[in-house]
Amino acid sequence: MKSFGSSLALWAAIFLLLGFGESLLLPQDARNNLGKRGLARFVFRGETGRTDRDVEKAGGISSRGFEKHARGELSNEELEKGCSLFLHAQGVSPTNPKYKENTQYVSTSPNPADAITFAYDRGDPTKPGFMYVIAVDEKMIDVGATLGNLAFKSQTEYAAVGAIPHSQIVGHFRITAKDFDPGLSKKLQDGKYLHQLVDGKGVDGFQKNPRFDRKFLSRQSSGAQPQLAGIPADNSAWNQKPWNRKPLKDYKGKSVANFLGNFVWQKVCRRDQVCDQRFRLPHE
């Protein structure tokens, strides 16, 4: 298996040559969240159905597939599907009806407007939802840049492998359709505003997580990881540019679970066995 330690500069050059350049660009309203390398520093996740206390009690936010795999409840085929970012981005489909139960990723977005749409119940204007502000780290992957021309251009997503610990969550906004602040998304585009959240300087409506670990402020996401696309071998994309060219075509027919396991071992856990055992993924 090839090493995934190639520099981002090299991968960026490959993506530009193979037509991935457009997918590397985020919407204008999300760009103030970008660091020096063009990677988001914070991501957002909107939820309904459980409270911030539920998330704290659970120790953070984890994917159902990650939890099922930890209990040994996924078959090899289900794990393969759950490790594919291509299938993750598609969501529930006729060929992947158990997407939510199998996926090994937690969906987040660098664009707060995307997250807000999932944070309130339009059917019940009094029912609260929550939007979490989360600092990035190496287990977060840019889905759009990974999938390139196969990505949904209307959405921006950073997929977190496995789980987001509670200590990585900066805090949250409690949101209802009834009292929703339409200016919140714009505020969250302001870098100074984001730093006010981190510093807990009394931003209206924001509940700072007292257990947030500031070590995450120095972390970076892993950007694009095309080996984790996991496009089915019979998909027509393999006959088209850029997927029919090297290095991308070398991933065809290979185990995406092994690719993800190697990514976690090398990039996320940095060869720490205790960390690696939490993911229980195969790797070389």
2 inside domain: no
209 inside domain: yes
Domain of 17: which CATH number? Answer: 3.90.210.10
89 inside domain: yes
Cβ-Cβ contacts under 8 Å for 208 (sequence gap 6 or more): 170, 171, 197, 200
284 inside domain: no
227 inside domain: yes
Query: Residue 17 and residue 226: Cα distance in Å, rounded?
Result: 14
- What pTM was computed for the model? 0.85
Phi then psi dihedrals of residue 175, to 5 deg:
-130, 135
Find, among 86, 208, 236, 249, the residue nearest to 159 by Cα: 86
pLDDT tens digits, the chain, 284 residues: what are they? 444 343 333 333 333 333 343 333 333 434 456 555 567 899 999 999 899 999 999 999 999 999 999 999 999 999 999 999 999 999 877 777 888 899 999 999 999 999 998 998 777 878 889 999 999 999 999 999 999 989 887 778 999 999 999 999 999 999 887 777 888 888 898 888 888 899 988 678 899 999 999 999 999 999 999 999 999 999 999 999 999 999 999 999 999 999 999 999 999 999 999 999 999 999 87
214 inside domain: yes
Given a contact cutoff of 8 angstroms between Cβ atoms, the answer to whether 62 and 164 are in contact is: yes
230 inside domain: yes
Identify the domain containing residue 30 by its residue range. Answer: 8-279
Asked, as a colleague might, if the bond just before 247 is cis with ω within 30 of 0, I would say: yes
The total number of structural domains that make up the chain:
1
